[in-house]
Amino acid sequence: MIKYYSSFLDKYECHELINLYNNSDNDYWEDTIYTFYSINLKKMNITLSKFSNFDFDRFRVQMVDESVNQVERFHTHRIPFSIIVFLNDDFDGGELIFGDKNRNPKISYTPKMGDMLYFTGDEPHKVNNCIGKRYTLVGFIKNDPLNIMQTNGII
């Protein structure tokens, strides 16, 4: 299931998270699916009141641009729930695409600053390559704080 929230974070909150990323030492992550730079908000003990009911396994700000290998194939998460909040939209590409059970594209979402997608870990998804810096707030969640399982949460 997928739920979409328009303007979940405001412009100020998005800029503050990007500034935090830009003023912190970031980590480089590379695996067979995705390559990105990130800062670990859990490790930094940073909490945001809008996420007070979220039991995060991982919570980070990620940045990708044309210099890294971006998500080219559909993947799922082992954790029950995930969020992606777009912190900016001043880049080209970077659409988030959800696939059907056969991993064929079914829904494409063009990033808009502050918008959030909340989805179950079994939703196949990928990200189109982007040109420019694409910042996202990404969380892997153990609970269901927005009750997606009790609603019909399709975009």
Query: Can you give the pLDDT at residue 20?
Result: 97
**Residue 132 in domain:** yes
Report the domain count for the chain.
1
Q: pLDDT of 60-82, one tens digit each?
A: 999 999 988 777 789 999 999 99
Domain-embedded: residue 155: no
The reported pLDDT for the residue numbered 151 is 64
Name the E strands within the chain. 2-5, 27-30, 35-40, 56-64, 81-86, 92-93, 96-99, 105-109, 116-120, 125-127, 130-131, 134-141
Asked if the structure places residue 34 within a domain, the reply is yes
Please tell me which of 23-27, 73-77, 145-149 the model is most confident about, judged by mean pLDDT.
Answer: 23-27
**Cα separations (Å) of 23 from 16, 52, 64, 68, 113?**
10, 24, 16, 20, 20
Tell me if the pTM is above 0.75: yes
Looking at the domain assignment, is residue 92 inside a domain?
yes
Helix (H) or strand (E) holding 18: helix 11-22
pLDDT at 140 over 70: yes
Residue predicted with more confidence, 101 or 57:
57
For residue 104, give the CATH number of its domain: 2.60.120.620
The answer to the question of residue 45 being in a domain is yes
**Domain span at 109:** 2-150
% of the chain with per-residue pLDDT over 70: 97
State both tokens at 17: 């998270």
Q: What is the pLDDT of residue 70?
A: 72
Residue 15 lies inside a defined structural domain of this protein: yes
The dihedral of CA 63, 40, 98, 113: what is its sign?
negative
